[in-house]
Amino acid sequence: MGQASSAAACALGADHEHEEQEEDEGEGGAGGVGGRFSGLDLTAFAPDECLAAVFQKLEPADRRRCSLVSKRWRRVEGQARQRLSLQAWLEIGPALPALLERFQHVTKLTLKCDRKRGSIDDDALCVIGQRCQQLQKLKLKACKGLTDSGIDRFAQVCGPLQKFSCASCQFGPPGLNSLLQHCANLEDLTVKRLRGFVESSEFVRPGTCSIRRLCLKDLPNAQLLGPLIAGSKNLHTLMLSRVSGNWDRLFEAITVHMTSLIELHMEKVALTDQGLQAVARCTNLQVLYVVKPAECTNKGLSSIANGCPDLRKLHVDGWKNSRVGDEGLATVARKCKDLQELVIIGLNATMSSLSLLASNCLSLERLAICTSDTFGDSELSCIADKCLALKKLCIKGCPISDRGMEALVGGCPSLVKIKVKKCRAVTPASIASLLSNRVSLVVTLDTSAIPVAPEAQCAVQVRPVQDNNITQENAPAPSTRSPLARARFAMAVVACTFMRWSASNGS
């Protein structure tokens, strides 16, 4: 019993040091409310619901300290906790029944283990599934002791699980198939670095659930999930990052079934224009992230623009040797007129495509241009003159200067925030001039690589943010009370209010 208790305390990371009594009384404790209530624990008059509401406002470490104050605080804190994170070491297994008996209403559970230590086994995971009948979200990280058999046993006894995330575990496709078959409410699935995929040849199929969001990252043989992607009729978001295999052929085979896809993220995926042409068949696509597509050209981006006219967000990271430029961006400007956010990295955009973009995409609110050798003062002036709805602008590593920044003084009337990074020809003096004309504008300037005059630097960095209406003179002083003292004071005030109400009703 002593070993189980120590394991539970170790898993929760509880701090057993009590707050000092002098601090509690001197900083607004129950006895500090004053008058005839001196010496009484006024928190005893507060209902459990109020006590739980206060606990939910605290950080996890402060909640653990509050649970050590009294038996009542411990009971209420355990019943009110919905999120729980445990160090899933092998030693915690015997303590799990008593631990989960206290936290009966947990809906989100995180089990993470150190790679150098043994993790919980299949029996412990089965206990979690039996005890946590309200569990909706489960995250497993580096739980190397779990097998396909353990995932199958858990899936048969767990509650209404909606979100499942696993990373650096040993199980593979058989375990995922059991999960998809028995968890009918599962909607969100994240799979990262599963070693069970290395030598497996079993396909992952949809099962009885309806997956809406699927994330695959650093996964060997990720194409084994092709049937799941194609068979998920309600798939809303698909995220692929560093997954091996020929995705051109897979997309050609499955995109015809992905009619409900709205958001697609692809990072370092073996993809060419052939794959982008297949993606273009997802006519309802609204958000597209293409990061480091080494083999994609203007042809692929143009096919996306022609096939997906409802695009609202487009991120294209061309990496080093990008073959996407003005032609592809011009097609996007002509076809995707509802575009609200555009991020281009490593693409050499010129006046030709940017002018067309500013004229046609009248709803463009967020624009980021990074590492573009052709984006200079003329292009920035074009953006300032024509992008009337633009609210946020980010420029990084581009050959712009103070002359281009001057165009923003009277341009982009809706602009509220601008970031300028690694643009050596932009000085703090031009930023100070911009701020003097547009006081509500928030500007971030990276001046690490250029010499800055002291007076100009102060003008840029010390200016208060006008949106919050807070200056250094009228800013509120930080509180010096401890979290435990603040919690007690809040519950004491609530208790006094309830006592006054009771007295008035009785009279």
Q: Return phi, psi of residue 256, to 5°.
A: -65, -25
CA distance 500 to 72: 23
CA distance 446 to 427: 10
Mean pLDDT of 386-411: 94
- Band (pLDDT 50/70/90 cuts) for residue 116 is confident
Q: Which of 273-277, 473-477, 503-507 has the highest mean pLDDT?
A: 273-277
447 has pLDDT over 90: no
**Which range scores top for mean pLDDT: 97-106, 138-147, 312-321, 464-473?**
138-147
Average the pLDDT over 162-170 and give the result.
Answer: 95
From the CB of residue 480, how many other CB atoms can be counted at a distance below 10 Å?
A: 7
Mean per-residue pLDDT for 94-121?
89
Residue 10 has pLDDT above 50, yes or no: no
The whole-angstrom separation of Cα 314 and Cα 285 is 10
Burial of 504 (0-12, 13-18, 19+ CB in 10 A): exposed
pLDDT > 70? residue 7: no
Nearest of 132, 98, 110, 109 to residue 4 by alpha carbon: 98
Who contacts 355 (Cβ-Cβ below 8 Å, separation ≥6)? 382, 386
174 burial type by CB count under 10 A (0-12 exposed, 13-18 middle, 19+ buried): middle
Each domain of the chain, given as residue ranges in start order, spans: 46-81, 83-245
Res. 296 pLDDT band, cuts 50 70 90: confident
Section 77-91 average pLDDT? 86
What pLDDT does 468 receive?
34
Mean pLDDT along residues 247-254: 92
Q: Poorest-confidence range of 293-297, 342-346, 474-478?
A: 474-478
Q: What is the mean pLDDT of residues 467-482?
A: 41
The answer to whether residue 341 scores a pLDDT higher than 90 is yes
Measured in degrees and rounded to the nearest 5, phi and psi for residue 115 equal -65, -20
The pTM score is 0.78
Q: Which of 96, 166, 153 is nearest to 124 (CA)?
A: 96
Given pLDDT bands bounded at 50, 70 and 90, which one contains residue 453?
very low
Q: Is the pLDDT confidence value at 507 over 90?
A: no
Instruction: Please report which residue ranges of 219-367 form alpha helices under DSSP H.
Output: 226-231, 247-254, 273-279, 298-307, 326-335, 351-360
pLDDT for residue 244? 84
Determine the pLDDT at residue 492: 60
Which range is least confidently modeled, 3-7, 306-310, 417-421, 452-456? Answer: 452-456
Mean pLDDT, the chain, integer: 82
pLDDT of residue 35: 54
pLDDT at 62 over 90: no
Distance (Å, rounded) from C-alpha 279 to C-alpha 272?
11
Give residue 127's pLDDT band: very low, low, confident or very high (50, 70, 90): very high
User: pLDDT digits over 175-227, tens only?
Assistant: 999 999 999 999 999 999 999 999 888 999 998 999 999 999 999 889 999 99
Could you say which DSSP state residue 36 is in? G
Q: What is the pLDDT, as a whole number, of residue 469?
A: 32
With a pLDDT cut of 70, the percent of the chain lying above it is: 79
How would residue 32 be classed by pLDDT, with cut points 50, 70 and 90?
A: very low
| CATH, range 83-245 | 3.80.10.10
CATH for 46-81 is: 1.20.1280
Question: What pLDDT is recorded for position 281?
Answer: 94
Q: Give the pLDDT of residue 496.
A: 54
Q: Which residue has the higher pLDDT, 287 or 322?
A: 287
